[in-house]
Chain A
Amino acid sequence: MTAALDAATEAAIGWLVVLNSGAVSDAERGGFAAWLNAAPSHRAAWERLASPLQDQLAPARAAAAHRTGILGDTLARAEADASQRRRLLRGALGLGGVATGAALLVAERYAPLTQLAADLHTGTGERREVALPDGSTLTLDARSAADIDFGPGRRTVTLRQGALIATVSAGGAPFVVRTAHGQVRALGTRFVVRQDAADSYVGMLEHSVEVTAAPAGQRLELPEGRAARFGARGVALVDDGSTPQSASAWQRGLLEVHDQPLGSVVQALRAYRAGFIRIAPEAARLRVYGSYALDDTDRALAALAETLPISVRVYRKGWLVVIEADAT
């Protein structure tokens, strides 16, 4: 589909080329300003092109900043791969013998398709409370996703990503929260569940639940005030001085940390901050105590910088944060 672009847009393109050279002269800047002001259509064409382009590229620019450039190399390698396989993309369906024997990978996206397709999902920095058909409520942490399956004889919530607090209304079918690592069946009213990479966490806020680990099927009843981690290695009580209350403090916009690695603190902050936080392994190992504001990650990062032997550098108007351990 080769549409023609109008004259103002063609001119805007010309100016984009000029302004991106890395060596723009004063005369060129003056020429651009003159063109921009010469007619409303010029400014409109510029806005239609430059703004969406900037929005589209800003995150990638932040991700690429202060790194060895490998994107040119990436394109070259992909090209070499492509010319080898181009012959395979033919056939009746028009698809041909695509990737014979090799599975098609859907690359991890910024917002994975599974998350978008979930019944409930929250974005960066967004918490949400949802009423369920039976009167129970779910509160989702930022960057979380859950599916709901309610019907005769079942009240099932599948946590796909992040964390939630369930306040379960009494009566009715068993209320179950599933994660990738097992399930939690409510015997009482209020609990917090978080799905991490290797296992899941459940903390009892009020009354008790029964936790079942997948795949082994090990089961444990968890009383009020206690927490457990469950997954491939079964179910184990958490005994590190943390409480379910602190594990659910995100509900009040707080990250409460009691002797946890800075790496996991940063991971929690990521769900509340647009952009990227990079942390060196030595810094990630440092132990952290305290209460940090999730809704104001600038403040949280400043507080961490003050209390720990780290440097926290912010680039690109906040899009990129780099944390490194101070040299000893």
Chain B
Amino acid sequence: MTAPLPSVDPMRHAQQLFTGHHAWLVARLQARLRNAADAQDVAAETFVRVVASRHLGAVHEPRAFLTTIAKRLLCTLWRRRALEHAYLDALAQHPEDLAPSPEERAVLLETLEYIAHALDGLPLKARQAFVLSQIEGLGYAAIAGQLGISQSTVRRHMAEGFRRVALALARQQAGIALPARQP
């Protein structure tokens, strides 16, 4: 006769959430998105993140909990789509480049999104400065010229950018957020 499973089991909690609330979440998302496939995708990824979150104990307000995750997810997906469209528009202005492979595009967009997320709330030029420095490798003089700001402003933006990234890394390391890059 086997002993009953201990109740403090993360997978069990995730399963309970799923059984109790997956259908509800899909229905709410579908009402909002008006697209069944998208609703399924977002609901699925919500539960993926629930399972992946390392601090899953019994959840007292399951629907509020799921809503928070789904909401964050939708913002992320929307932002990713916006970045992708913007990137394609920008790319269309430079046909002389060898077209980036799907992998290069995916990595650039993912990293851009990571930075946009970490630096959320900072002014556009701060985000641009950080990206120009950290992905495109420009020096501060070049960045200042391109963005029409002073070098000291560039330094201020860079400091704030690194600070935000440091905070994002600390959160990740504490297991609060999913790692930004899937291996």
Residues of A within 8 A of B (CB): 1-3, 5, 9-10, 12-14, 16-17, 20-23, 48-49, 52-53, 56-57, 59-61, 63-65, 67-79, 81-82, 85, 89, 91, 93-101, 103-111, 113, 116-117, 123, 270, 276-280, 322
Contact = CB atoms under 8 A, between A and B. Distances in A.
A78 B67 contact: no
B21 interface: no
Interface in B140-183: 140-142, 146-147, 155, 158-159, 162-163, 165-167, 169-171, 173, 180-183
Interface in B57-105: 67-68, 70-71, 74-75, 77-87, 89-91, 93-94, 96-98, 100-105
Contacts of A12: 166
Contact of B135 (A64, A77, A276): A64
B15 interface: no
Given A52-B169, A72-B128, 12 more contacts: A13-B163, A56-B180, A59-B107, A60-B107, A63-B104, A63-B105, A64-B135, A64-B136, A104-B38, A107-B83, A110-B182, A276-B103
B42 interface: yes
Contacts of B167: 1-3, 5
B80 A106 contact: yes
Contacts of B147: 72
Contact of A5 (B87, B89, B163, B181): B163
B41 to A, nearest CB: 6
B55 interface: no
B112 A63 contact: no
Contacts of B11: none
A186 B78 CA distance: 43
Contacts of A67: 97, 100
A282 to B, nearest CB: 11
B45 interface: yes
Q: Which 4 A-B pairs have the closest CB atoms?
A: A22-B139, A60-B111, A77-B86, A78-B86
Nearest to A51: B169
Interface of B: 28-29, 32-35, 37-38, 41-42, 45, 48, 67-68, 70-71, 74-75, 77-87, 89-91, 93-94, 96-98, 100-112, 114, 116, 124, 127-128, 131-142, 146-147, 155, 158-159, 162-163, 165-167, 169-171, 173, 180-183
A110 B159 contact: no
Contacts of A60: 107-108, 110-112, 135
Contact of B182 (A63, A116, A280): A116
Given A22-B141, A67-B97, A276-B104, A13 B82 contact: no
A106 B135 contact: no
Given A95-B32, A105-B84, A111 B182 contact: yes
Contacts of B81: 99, 104-105, 107
Nearest to A69: B136
A110 B124 contact: no
A64 B4 CA distance: 55
20 contacts: A2-B167, A3-B171, A5-B163, A13-B162, A16-B158, A22-B138, A22-B139, A49-B165, A53-B169, A56-B111, A57-B134, A60-B111, A63-B103, A72-B131, A77-B89, A78-B79, A104-B33, A108-B106, A111-B182, A278-B100
Contact of A95 (B70, B90, B96, B112): B70
B108 A71 contact: yes
A99 B139 contact: no
